[in-house]
Structure 1
Amino acid sequence: MLARTRLAPIKTTTIPRLELSAAVLAATSDAKLRKELSLPIDDSVFWTDSTIVLQYIKNTSRRFHTFVANRVGIIHKNSSPQQWRHVRSELNTADPASRELPGISNDDPEVKNMTISFAAGAIKVAPVDPLFERYSSWYKLQRIVAWLRRFCSACRKKCSHQDSNLSVMEIQAARMVIIRQVQTTCFAEELDILKRRKNLKASRLYRLEPHLDDQGMLRVGGRRVDEYIDQNSKRPLILPKDHPVTALIVQDIHVFHARHSGREHTLAELRRKYWIVAGRPLVDRILRNCFTCRRVNSKPLTQSTRAVHIEPLKSLDASTFLNALMCFIARRGTPMKIYSDRGTNFLRAEKELRATVHAWSKNKSIDDTCMQRIDDDRLRTLFCEVEATMNSRPITAIPGDVTEPEALTPNHALRMSVGDGIQVQTDDNASLDNTYGRAWIHAQVLADRNQWRLGRVTEAIAGEDGLVRKAKVRTSSGVLVRPIVKLCLLEASLS
């Protein structure tokens, strides 16, 4: 007794074609048995429950497509139409091979009982987390959270605010609440370890030496950070790279602080307040998706002009003085104190500044200010703002470690000890001044490549590990031995 079966192809096909393939299998099996058996076989009878297949086999006048024609030819080669018979499906003994058979009952005593266990984990989602993904503007998100905080405060105190506008303090408080929620969601383990005053050696934030401030927020730590951070500013807040709020902050700083400059300038402005863990890929993605940067093909919006100071005054009224003050702040940094002889223009300017700050905190006169006609003084002030943006762009590489000094900008040389400038050398900061001095010399040498000495490498010197560490270089003044990190290969031998 011989039984053969075959699986249906993955590609969907018709039932008549499957039945015809079964008929081919029966004919070829008969031919194989006749070849292998030594017993004489007088006749073979083939049974099928498909009348269509029987019509295919007995046809002698019609022509078929390739699939049916090839298989009918194989059947005619191994059998004759007179050998084929029809059988009803319920009497077909080969039919169960192509159908599902009843399985073993679960009541069988020989069947072992199986216990299936399921494990499910619950992800805690804070109620405000969906709010962070709803808005595409960092400023708008801060305002929404500020309104929600005011509403909750009014509900607790059962009173209503008389002022219908948000204050600057409310927006700043909302900003800190958002960042605290982001850190709680993404750095829950690190916050718990620091609150228990334990070590973070196994954490991804270990190299940042994080610590908790007086508000319980994660900030960059380390003793060497104090050497180059302004005493009046706080350490950068630590943010994750894959949170929607982080992307909104980077986008805001790129647009309103870096003014659509490149990656290094955006990173330099960002790290004044925030430190994103592995943030360079995020900044690159934000810059690639920036419509303005893509429109100008990542080219600067203005020509690069550095270290320029021109300050003409047309009159001595309060408006002209305010424009001159804005130019001064843009070029020399924000002064700690301003002394005057209490002239009428200075007193009037002080009143206008206080009134403007009060109005802007209530979102008033913003549109009026933006729609004002630009005269010569305002145009000159605008140029100074552009100049300040250009002079804050880094000219050296952004450090990848928190223990390294920040990237050098032209403002470090222009402002010296004011704001972001280099501190004047004293006994307390002599090491810091030397660090910046070496950085400036290194940047100038790298920039002036015409002064680099040329030579030919005559011998490569390997270290103890078998790798090339030094090289002998023949120059016009003799043969020198230099480490390979201080060599720049201009032309290599093809041999």
Structure 2
Amino acid sequence: MKQSLSKTSESILHHEEKVKRNSSLACITPDPERFGTLEKLRAVQKRILNFLQGICKRPCGEQLRNILAINRDVETDAVFIRACQEEEFPEEIRCLNQGHGITNRKSKLFKCTPYLDELGVLRIKGRIDKIEGVDMDTKRPIILPQKHRVMFLIVEYYHRKNDHLPNEIVVNEVRQRYWMTGLRALVRKVANACVACRIRVARPVPPKMGDLPKQRLSPHTQPFTFTGVDCFGPFEVAVGPRHEKRWRVLFTCLTTRTVHLEIATSLSTDSFLCVLKAFVARRGVPRCILSDNGTNFRGVSRVLKEHIERISTLAVEQQYPTLEFKFNPPISPHMGGVWERLVLRYGIGPIWALTIPNLLH
């Protein structure tokens, strides 16, 4: 029993490659499955033709002679296009070479009028041959199979050439030279596989909103017990013959959303301390003030802490609770959205609006 368990199983690994190259030009055309763009396929095909022209010094067949005589910069696509046509439409090309029409009713080209041009490329006849100023590819477009790799590379090339524009523009550009069935489906497939297009149309996933802080959920408390503060401006005001700058200081109750506005002469610590004293004299001492990391807010927090520690007694603490400052984390303006949205509302009004005695809204 132990001997049977100690036996190890052996596995043989081998590589099996299925090649479907029924074209007579398979030996001189690169495999399009190995290329990601049409430009690379064209470059390799051009180098192959240049190599063949260099080694074929002696007379060769008429078919190869016609291929080597093509213009490398214009008609290089005709070689691998003809190869993919011979792979997908072998019966149709055989019938056309024999001088017969397509008799198979199940063929995709049965209702068309295909023919072979001087390079052996399969084209479709039209009714606009007499038009002037139009290329031959537009008059008689090249027939291409839908599911072949070459067609995918061609559509992807036109997709990038037109700067990832809508699919109908790409369809129109491809149809100026090629004819195929199911073109729109292939264009959608190319657009869905395009990384640039996927990034452009991607929608950001909104993050889950966090819980409201305790200061926003404190019922049965006086207004401005928990207060948010921010400064905005400056605004020019006329003081006699000269113009000076003033800033607005916005206090908002985090529970009732009540608003109180004051005027500051500058953004210094002393100026904000005067504003805070005026606010406390009218609204009472808040228990907690939330703000951003402004230097004036930081300075007032330090000064008040020193004064409270200096005169702190039991009677004072009972009458005036300890004032606490809380600051948002750096570079986090979204955490002050309670007062930032009010800045947009009250930052538009005229400066004389602050002189109204009752600023409670």
Instruction: Please give the TM-score of this superposition, normalised by the length of structure 2.
Output: 0.42
